[in-house]
Structure 1
C-alpha cells in the first residue's frame, strides 16, 4: 500500500504577513510545498491531501492543479472552526481553527492509508520523505507510529522565535515524551525557550519535531477522544491550540502505541517570517546548483 502525504496549509501566517502557502520561492515560481511534493513523489508517495481554508480554495487550486495533475493524486479537506467538533458549539470568542491536531482530524474523511503529515511552509529534504515512506510501507501499524526528528540548531530563524516539539527517547529509539515549546530563540549564551518570562536552556543538538509525523490511520480514533478532552478543558480560551505533539505525547503516556524517532541530517529551512524569504531562496538556489532539483520542478511554463 502506497503512503499518503498530508500537507497542513490552512494557517493564515500572521507572523509572515501574507499567505506563504502560495508564495513563490523557486526560480520558476515554485512554492515551498512543491519541493516537498516533488521529494515525496520521488520517495514513493502517490497521493497528497491538502488541508486548506475554503476562503482561498479557488486560488490554491488554480496554482497547484495545473502543475500536479497527472503526477500525483490530489484531495482537499478544509480546516474551519466548526469541523471535527463532534457536536460541540464553537465559542463566540474563537476566531481561528484549533491548531495542528485539529487539522489532522479535518483530514480524516480523505485518508484510509498510512500517512505522513507535514507543514506547508517547511523545507524537509528528500531524506526525510525517503525515511518516512520506508517506515510507512514496512513498519507502520496501529501500535507503531513515527516522527522524523531534526537537529534544533538547524531549525531556527534569525528573525524571531519558533515553536518546536522537543523530543526525548529511550535506548530503543522510541519517543518517551515530546513537549511543544512555543518560544525558542538563540541568545548570546545559547539557545533557550521562554516560558512565563523565564528562559530555559536547550542544547543545540536537541532533537526536535518539525511536524513531520508518520501515522497509521487508527490515530484518528485516539485524536478524536483527545480533541474532545481538549475542548472540554480549553474551548473558552480564545488562543489555546490543540497541537499534534501534545496529541502524540498523550498517545505515548496512555501506552496505546509507540512512536519511533527517526533522525535525519537533512537541512531544514522555513519561512516563519517575511525576512526568512531571501535565506530560503538562497538555499534553494544552492540546491539547484548542485543538481538536487531542476530549475523548473514540473517543466511547466509560468
Structure 2
C-alpha cells in the first residue's frame, strides 16, 4: 500500500495577509503545494489529504481537482473548533486554530496507511519525498517514526533571523531532543543563534526540523488523548496551540516511539511575509532553468 501525503493547509496566514496556501508562485500560478504534490507523485505517494478550513474547500477543489484527476487520489478534511468529537463537553471560545498537532487529528478517519505530514507553505525538494517514501514503505512501525532533517544553513533567510527546531541526534541517527531556537541567523559565512543578547555558533550541517514527519495511524489515538488533556488545561488561553512537537516529545519521553532523523541535502524555502514571495518565485524559476521541474508543471 502506497503511503499518504497529509498537507497542513488550515492556517490563518495572518502575517502573510492572504491565503498563501493557494497563492501562485510558479510561472503558471502554481502554488507551493503543487510542487510538493508533483514531487510526492514522482516519489511514490498514493494519496494526498488536505487539512483545510471548511470555508476553503471550494477554492482548493477549483485549483487542484482538475490538475490531479487521474494522477493521485485526493481527500479533504476540516480542522474546526468542535470539541465534542473528542469527548470534551465544555465550550472553549477561540478564534485561532488549535495548532498542527490538532490538525493531524482531523485526518484520523481518512488515513489508514503510513503517512507523512508537511506544511502547505514550505518547499521541501524531491529528495525529501523520496527518502520519506522509502522509510514509510520499508522501516516505519507503530514505534518507529521519522522526520526529515534539513541542514540549518539551507533553511535560513537572507532578510533576518528565523525560529528553528534544532535537533540533537544520536550517533545512530535518532532524535534525542528538539530545542527551539527563536533567533537563528547568518553571521558572515557562519550560522549562529542569539540568546540573552549573546551569540552562539551552530555547525552548518546541524539538523533542524521543518515539520516533515512520518507516522502510522497509531499516532492518532495518542494524539487524541494528549489533545484532550491540552485543551482542558489551556481553556483560558485562547492563543495556546497544540503543536506536533508536543506529540513527538511525549512519545520520546515515554519511550513509546523513536524518531529516525532522515538527512537531506535539499534546500528548503518558504513564505511567511509578502516580501518572501519574489524570493520564492526566483528560486522556482532557477529550478525550472536547471530542468528539475517543467515550466508547465501539470502539462
TM-score interval, normalised by the smaller of the two chains: over 0.9
2:183 maps to 1:184: yes
Shift of 1:236: 1.6
2:246 corresponding residue in structure 1: 246
Shift of 1:202: 5.6
Query: Which stretches in structure 1 are left out of the alignment for 5+ residues?
Result: none
TM-score, normalised to structure 1, is 0.92
Shift of 1:87: 1.9
Displaced runs of 4 or more, over 6 A:
none
2:92 corresponding residue in structure 1: 91
TM-score, normalised to structure 2, is 0.93
Q: Residues 7, 202 of structure 1: CA spacing in aligned structure 2 closer, same or farther, 3 A cutoff?
A: farther
Q: Residues 171, 105 of structure 1: CA spacing in aligned structure 2 closer, same or farther, 3 A cutoff?
A: same
CA distance in 2, matches of 1:158, 1:275: 12
8 A contact 2:101–2:247 mirrored in 1: yes
| Residue pairs, 1:285-300, within 5 angstroms | 285-299=285-299
CA distance in 1, matches of 2:38, 2:275: 25
Cα shift readout 1:144-191 (whole Å, capped 9, x = no counterpart): 00000111222123445544322112121111112344x334265853
Length, aligned pairs only: 295
Secondary structure at 1:89's aligned position in 2?
coil
2:7 maps to 1:7: yes
8 A contact 2:148–2:212 mirrored in 1: yes
CA distance in 1, matches of 2:261, 2:176: 10
2:234 maps to 1:234: yes
8 A contact 1:81–1:96 mirrored in 2: no
Query: Which stretches in structure 2 are left out of the alignment for 5+ residues?
Result: none
Shift of 1:89: 3.0
| Residue pairs, 1:60-209, within 5 angstroms | 60-82=60-82, 85-92=86-93, 94-159=94-159, 161-181=161-181, 183-186=182-185, 188=187, 190-192=191-193, 201=200, 203=202, 204-209=204-209
8 A contact 2:128–2:148 mirrored in 1: yes
Q: Residues 193, 49 of structure 1: CA spacing in aligned structure 2 closer, same or farther, 3 A cutoff?
A: farther
CA distance in 2, matches of 1:110, 1:193: 42
Secondary structure at 2:109's aligned position in 1?
helix
Secondary structure at 2:135's aligned position in 1?
helix
Q: Residues 88, 163 of structure 1: CA spacing in aligned structure 2 closer, same or farther, 3 A cutoff?
A: farther
